[in-house]
Amino acid sequence: MSNSNHTFKSWRLNKRPVGEIKNSDLSLVEEEIPQINDNEVLARTIYFSLDPTNRIWMSDVDQYMEPVEIGDIMRAGGSIAIVEESKTKDVSVGDIIQGGMHGGWQEYFIVPGNDVIKLPIETGLPLTAFISVLGFTGPTAYFGLLDIGKPQKGETVVVSAAAGAVGSIVCQIAKNKRM
Ligand SMILES: NC(=O)c1ccc[n+]([C@@H]2O[C@H](COP(=O)([O-])OP(=O)(O)OC[C@H]3O[C@@H](n4cnc5c(N)ncnc54)[C@H](OP(=O)(O)O)[C@@H]3O)[C@@H](O)[C@H]2O)c1
C-alpha cells in the first residue's frame, strides 16, 4: 500500500447483504488522506483481519456491537499499522500500533494519541501473531475451551471446525494440557 498520490482506498458498506455477500454490497472508495490535528497520529495499515463476525456487523440485527452503518468504512476485528505521522508525544513515526476501533478495511486511519496501543515488536514475534493468537483469536480459544467448556480429566475434546482460526488454537491448547 502506498500513498504516492496522497489518496487512500477503503471498503465501505454499500448495502446490507441478504444471504451470501455480493460484490455490490461493498464499494472500494478512494479519497484524500486526512490531515491530522494536534494529539493525533496517522497510521498506515499493514494487516487487517477478516472474521466471521464481519458478516454480523453488516446486518442491522440485534448483536453485541453497533452494526456498521451504510456508507461507513467496514470495521476490522483486528489491524496492525505503522505510524506515518505523529503530532503526539510518546508516539513516533515508525512505531507499530494496533488499530483497535480506529482501524478498518482501509489503507490509512487516524488515531487519537491517548488511544494508541503500541505493539511490543521487540519480542521478535511475527506481526500477524498480534491479530491472531495474541489478538482476539487466542483468548477466544483459551477462555472458550477452559472457562466455558470446563473440560474435566478423562474427557475427550472434540473441535467441530478444527481447521479454523479459533478451532486450531483450541486443539493446541487441548494438546498442551494433554486433554
Ligand atoms: N476469530 C476470533 O477472534 C473470534 C472471536 C470471537 C468469536 N469467534 C467466533 O468463533 C467462530 C470461528 O471463528 P474463526 O475466526 O475461527 O473462523 P474461521 O477461521 O473462518 O473458521 C471457521 C471454521 O468453520 C468451518 N466451517 C464453516 N462452515 C462450516 C459448516 N457449515 N460445517 C462445518 N464447518 C464449517 C470452516 O471450515 P472451512 O475452512 O472448510 O471453510 C473453518 O474451519 C465463529 O463463530 C466466530 O464468530 C471468533
CA distances from 10 to 14, 49, 104, 113, 160 (A): 12, 14, 8, 22, 34
Q: Is the CB of 137 under 6 A from ligand 1?
A: yes
Provide the residue ranges of all domains of the chain, joining segments of one domain with +.
7-122, 137-176
- What three-state secondary structure class fits 65? coil
* 74-103 per-position pLDDT tens digit: 999 999 999 999 999 999 999 999 999 999
Residue 3: closest CA among 34, 27, 26, 28? 34
Nearest CA to ligand 1 atom 31: 161
Contacting residues for 117 by C-beta, under 8 A, at least 6 apart: 97, 98, 100
> Tell me: the pLDDT tens digits for 95-144?
999 999 999 999 999 999 999 999 999 999 999 999 999 999 999 999 99
Model confidence over 18-49: pLDDT tens digits?
Answer: 999 999 999 999 999 999 999 999 999 999 99
> Ligand 1: which residue has its CA nearest to atom 46?
52
Per the CATH hierarchy, to which homologous superfamily does domain 7-122 belong? Medium-chain alcohol dehydrogenases, catalytic domain (3.90.180.10)
This prediction has a pTM of 0.89
